[in-house]
């Protein structure tokens, strides 16, 4: 249920989600936490490199690092996804060290988290499957990986996408949203600021060309709607489910010809910088809004009879 008071939206399930962060909401703790998260993420990347070096030697590690940088093959893409483990661990350490609260508080109620994740994933898979039946003017995707090779990587790839999307949700819709909401009542702060940061981190003009700011806008829209779903439901489950299915399809099923295409079964023969991809970006934004509206309706808290 959402009520409006004094011109500000109040989310009934958001208050208990944010409550653990209210115990120690000081801004210095948040800044220290973010610095720790950056350090742990960097250490996570270094740890992956060291493990690869221990396995294949320095020259081999350099080769894998080059493949990771371009996500040119399935192994390189899996290794790149593995680096997000540090991003997931960082907020968990931050809440324990600087905010003295449990790691579980980042996620919301665990039963609700997984229930909403699974319901959201099922709805999104159905929606994307139906949308694939709609005729499109986009070029026909071309085979990228042989089916048996793709299938052999699929379990590990799904875990990698689960880690990657979960890490981003824990950081942006968990840690940042909670700590900012604990200090500031306005959604402009706790919803818009983390979403803007999330979007700017996706700014890649060297890859997206003139489409870079359209991609940033699409990511910002997704992030705001994911923050809203988190506030409505009181857990990151719905946002994580939406994020997971979206990225799994874009990384593992049909990818654009560029980075993060190494695990894709098919490749769309079009550059992310091509003007021809813009209708697809706008369609993706409209699909995200439609899914958000459906999920909001399905997952919203039910009023109990007095």
Q: Residue 168 falls within a domain, yes or no?
A: yes
Predicted local confidence at residue 185, as pLDDT: 92
> How far is the C-alpha of 223 from the C-alpha of 233, rounded, in Å?
15
Closest to 182 (Cα-Cα) out of 16, 2, 34, 3? 16
Q: What is the pTM of this model?
A: 0.90
> How many separate domains does the chain show?
1
Say if 306 falls within a structural domain. Answer: no
Residue 257, domain extent: 9-299
| CB 105, CB 20: distance < 8 Å | yes
Q: Are 174 and 236 in contact (CB under 8 A)?
A: yes
Residues contacting 232, CB < 8 A, separation 6+: 2, 11, 13, 14, 238, 296, 299, 300, 301
Q: Is residue 196 part of a domain?
A: yes
Residue 177 lies in a domain: yes
Flag whether 304 is in a domain.
no
- Walking along the chain (306 residues) 10 residues at a time, the average pLDDT comes out as 41 94 96 98 88 73 62 79 94 97 97 97 93 75 92 95 98 98 95 97 91 96 98 97 96 84 88 86 93 95 59
Other beta carbons within 10 angstroms of residue 304's beta carbon come to: 5
Each residue of 152-188: pLDDT tens digit? Answer: 999 999 999 999 999 999 999 999 999 999 999 999 9
């Amino acid at each position: 249920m959402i009520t409006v008071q004094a011109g500000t939206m109040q989310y009934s399930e958001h208050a208990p989600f944010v409550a653990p962060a209210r115990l120690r909401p000081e801004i210095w703790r948040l800044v220290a936490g973010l610095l720790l998260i950056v350090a742990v993420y960097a250490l996570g990347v270094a740890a992956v490199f060291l493990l690869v070096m221990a396995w294949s030697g320095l020259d081999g590690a350099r080769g894998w690092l080059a493949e990771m940088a371009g996500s040119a093959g399935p192994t390189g893409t899996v290794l790149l996804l593995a680096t997000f483990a540090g991003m997931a661990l960082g907020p968990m350490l931050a809440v324990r060290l600087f905010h003295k609260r449990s790691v579980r508080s980042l996620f919301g109620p665990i039963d609700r988290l997984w229930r909403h994740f699974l319901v959201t994933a099922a709805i999104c898979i159905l929606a994307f499957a139906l949308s694939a039946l709609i005729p499109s003017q986009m070029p026909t995707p071309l085979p990228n990986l042989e089916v048996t090779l793709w299938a052999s990587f699929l379990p590990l790839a799904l875990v990698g996408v689960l880690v990657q999307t979960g890490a981003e949700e824990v950081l942006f819709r968990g840690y940042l949203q909670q700590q900012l909401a604990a200090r500031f009542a306005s959604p402009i702060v706790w919803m818009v600021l983390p979403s803007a940061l999330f979007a700017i981190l996706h700014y890649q003009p060297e890859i997206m060309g003139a489409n870079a700011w359209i991609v940033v806008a699409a990511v910002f829209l997704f992030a705001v709607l994911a923050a809203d779903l988190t506030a409505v439901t009181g857990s990151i489950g719905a946002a994580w489910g939406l994020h997971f299915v979206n990225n799994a399809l874009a990384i593992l099923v049909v990818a654009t010809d560029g980075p993060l295409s190494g695990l894709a079964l098919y490749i769309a023969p079009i550059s992310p910088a091509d003007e021809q991809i813009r209708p697809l970006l706008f369609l993706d934004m409209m699909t995200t809004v439609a899914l958000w509206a459906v999920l909001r309706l399905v997952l919203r808290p039910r009023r109990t009879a007095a």
